[in-house]
Structure 1
């Protein structure tokens, strides 16, 4: 169980260095089941990650990082600075039956992160080459299903639980990065090592039929999920961009997952925030050629395109993302909010350049 608790709320415009309130921020808000702290913060702030500034010197809460469904949050001003408080129950009212509380509101959509982390991994060439893999079963079948025993090439730990993964190719065909995405197709348990590099295994679950050559990776807890996320602007990435969707498909929206081309080697950490920009369309203006045409690049004639590159209109912010898993040269990020679907090759910018 991952209990995340942050409160991401703040206020605007009182001091030049303070966080900025949204134009139409609420004076109070009642926390609902299914809320995330990012969602709550975004109701108040243009910069939702600046949550600590509302909770400083707040004696009302034993732990200011925990809020629950049913809590009423009230925006107040103390010594000229905004503070977010939980409304107290009326004095003199005694509760005879204690209130049962749900889990604290998470920072972001944990279900999306857990589902992705369980179902997908990113491996470099060395990890792919070292991974164990299925070679078949005693009946000579190429497709394997739950309840059957099979054999795997590699050294496995007897009794160990392994995920069975299928390669999905590089994140971005033709890119210089060599990370390969793999998707979980099922699980198995290692029975015994029958030869030096051959193990007997039993298939325990499946999302789809397993095949010869599917990879085996340990499913033991490996620290890939942080127990707490502290969102903050990430380091600037040279030519930073979205390089792939986290799942099948060509687009992703709010609470979806994307891969970006920055990882541990570029200083990226879990919790880092980025804005996603939609590239502006290209245009050929009247003076671009002797034809005197005004055209979008995608509808321009071949002659007009041969006169030179189109002028690109400014990119527009469409989303904000938070990194939750970091690899060597790439990272997986959760789409926190968006006003349009995200596609591969969309550039990255500061989180302020995100959806509003």
Structure 2
């Protein structure tokens, strides 16, 4: 059974007068469901809403109608009504109807701006991806990692692990102003293209953050938050504000062939909501919001007539969405999974449903 991530989705959309729905054929390759309208609720996600209308949610941008009369027409708010209608050319379109009041006669009033400040919904479940948005994520080499400032000593000797509120001393922060926040990181897995010896870099584990309390040759710092165990020798990096992702799921502009090369959790098999590292990035044409299908080889079978073996096509076992792109690698979150996802699983641009997909429940 397919599983969907997206407890939150950030997109607010402009409003638009709603045209009547006509029974017309969808353009080639667009898989429409039977839903004709949907009222957006708090806690919805773009992925979940797209799945109400489309068998392949990554096709949303192909039929989304952007209202040219409003600012940021790609944002959707709770209370918006999304409707499936048809344009002048007879092709299906998804539009947003937004109303904030009514005339005396009861007809709805459509306005161009929300009446109050309402946060748009995030694209992905922020609890899963936020730790990977405010840190460098990837560092070029172990030498570069070793050159970072680090936690040098605890205020109370004898400790081997530290947590929120603990006081320590840091090396390499000599001129950093009091009150500055730094992220705490540890060196993660070395990243490679499969079969290529030269590394693409190293992933960084986000452990938490510190605040500089006073400064001298070794700055006095306090742990502000802790996501994992923190130890002496862990490195420090300037803390950047994490920008909440706000974009539509989409297919890559060009065909992409990639592979999961690392995982950011300790589980042997990965499920929906967990983060992986992909061995392709900006140089391969990947962008934030791109969807990739996860494929697994199924081995060989034998031709019953000739007796000769032949390779079965790979089977789709899930999907990931790219949410942070570097030049040669990307972070992605698992959005669908029919079984445990593994490091080494192949990734490809999404495509039409196949017989093997349907058999596995991947409509």
Partner-residue secondary structure (3-state), 1:40: helix
- Pick aligned residue for 1:140 from 157, 179, 182: 157
Corresponding residue number in structure 2 for 1:105: 121
1:121 aligns with 2:121: no
- Measured after TM superposition, the shift of residue 145 of structure 1 is 4.1
CA contact (8 A) 2:10 2:124 kept: no
- Give yes or no for the alignment of 1:4 onto 2:11: yes
Counterpart of 1:128 in 2: which secondary structure?
Answer: helix
Maintained 8 Å contact 1:68/1:101? no
2:201 matches 1:179: yes
Check the 8 A contact 1:225/1:325 in 2, yes or no. no
The answer to whether the aligner puts 1:233 opposite 2:251 as a matched pair is yes
Indicate whether 1:188 and 2:219 are aligned. Answer: no
Aligned length: 324
| Per-residue deviation, 1:40 | 1.3
Are residues 1:82 and 2:89 paired? no
SS in 2 for 1:194: coil
TM score, norm. by length of structure 1 = 0.74
**Cα distance in 2 for residues equivalent to 1:279 and 1:333:** 21
Is 1:215 the counterpart of 2:235 in the alignment? yes
Distance 1:12 1:343 in 2: 41
* Aligned counterpart for 2:31 among listed residues 21, 24, 45: 21
Look up the match of 1:204: 224
SS at match of 1:34: coil
Q: CA deviation at 1:138?
A: 5.1
TM superposition shift of 1:277: 0.9
2:278 equivalent in structure 1 = 260
Q: Does the Cα contact within 8 Å between 1:276 and 1:317 map onto a contact in 2? A: yes
Q: Please, which of 31, 36, 49 is the counterpart of residue 40 of structure 1?
A: 49
Please state how far the C-alpha of 1:100 moved relative to its aligned partner: 7.6
- CA distance in 1 between counterparts of 2:219 and 2:261 reads 37
Runs of at least 5 residues in structure 2 that lack an aligned partner in the other structure: 1-8, 15-22, 109-113, 354-361
Q: Which residue of 2 aligns with 1:297?
A: none
Deviations 1:210-267 (A, max 9, x none): 312111111132xx646532443224445x1111223221222333222110123434
Tell me the equivalent position of 1:339: 338
The structure showing larger relative contact order (alpha-carbon pairs under 8 Å, at least 6 residues apart) is 2
Mark the runs of 5 or more structure 1 residues left unpaired by the alignment: 295-309
Task: Give the one of 31, 49, 60 matched to 1:51.
Answer: 60
RMSD of aligned residue pairs (Cα, Å): 3.9
Other-structure match for 2:19: none
Residues in 2 aligned to 1:12 and 1:245: alpha-carbon distance in whole angstroms: 44
Larger C-alpha radius of gyration, 1 or 2? 1
Contact 2:65 2:94 in 1 (8 A): no
| 1-structure distance, mates of 2:351, 2:151 | 47
Maintained 8 Å contact 2:138/2:204: yes
Distance in structure 1 (CA, Å) of the matches to 2:83 and 2:53 = 11
Q: Matched residue of 1:211: which SS?
A: coil
Query: 2 CA distance for matches of 1:26 and 1:140?
Result: 63
Structure 1 residue 115, shift from structure 2 partner:
4.1
1:93 aligns with 2:102: no
Distance 1:203 1:93 in 2: 57
